[in-house]
Amino acid sequence: MARERTLVGAAAPQSAQPKMAVLTVQSGLEAGRVYVLARDKANTLGREEDECTITFEDARLSRLHARVISVNGEWMLTDQGSTNGTFVNDVRIEKHSQLSDGDRVVLGGSVSLRFALVTAEERDALMRVYEAAVRDGLTGVLNRKALDQRLLAELAFAVRHDTPLSLVLLDVDHFKKVNDTYGHPAGDAVLREVAARLTRALRIEDVFGRYGGEEFLIVAREITLEQGAQLAERMRVLIDSSPIVFEGTPIHVSASFGVASLACCGATRDAPALLSIVDARLYDAKHAGRNRVVAQGTR
């Protein structure tokens, strides 16, 4: 009997993965951030949150600076009559410009972006790189560098729009004792849980991150000093109300809070002045017995 043979041919080529358009920030406060462009609507760029789908906190941009839309499978960039211009590969566009993969887009001479066509896998890789650059490796919240950058952006917004801005700086009480008593893995678990509790309780517009060691910072837009103190008290109760369980062992922790607002700074409305005040009030809270909120002081 003839042996039956199985013919093995070349595998059918897989269809190319569909590509999406992204803008990756190349410079400034959000370098590395990736924006996925919508195909079914206009993607508007500028510094006004109410008018734009992608915003940048840069005074050199117009409120509605430019837009990107998909037309018959091609991506078109349009300047919206901006003051300082829109550039593609260092050439200022008069009105419209068709974008190609790899093009460099500059808004207002200051915000630099790279236009690219990428697969979902490539998009995810770009986003992972950005997240690794701005997230604290232990807690997953913003790291110190990202916090400093976001604070500058929020301050610029508050000063330009004459709106309130408050900072809440907190420190986990007796954290060294936690490490000494339960071990450093338990201390890490405490920091992760504190960060998780606060993240779940904060507004989506609040900026929150690890300021250093066992300190965390909240930047609260359009929040007055009184409202900031109320926010801090809610966070204090949230931490103090129930123990953190690590490997079956309950660990009770508390935190001390300092609160300051832009209105506390007087004429010096900048980040160093605001941070100095909130840090001094956190110091007062710790030296007054800990597990409390201080929102008043000599400054």
- Report the catalytic residues: 214
Listed residue (277, 59, 226) closest to 159, CA to CA: 59
Angle, to 10 degrees, between the axis of helix 120-134 and the axis of helix 144-161? 90
Contact call for residues 33 and 130 (beta carbons, < 8 A): yes
**Alpha helix ranges (H) inside 46-183:** 120-134, 144-161, 175-182
3-state secondary structure labels for all residues of 58-97 = CCCCCCCCEEEEEECCEEEEEECCCCCCEEECCEECCCEE
Longest distance between any two alpha carbons in the chain, whole Å: 102
Grouping H, G, I as helix, E, B as strand and the rest as coil, residue 104 is strand
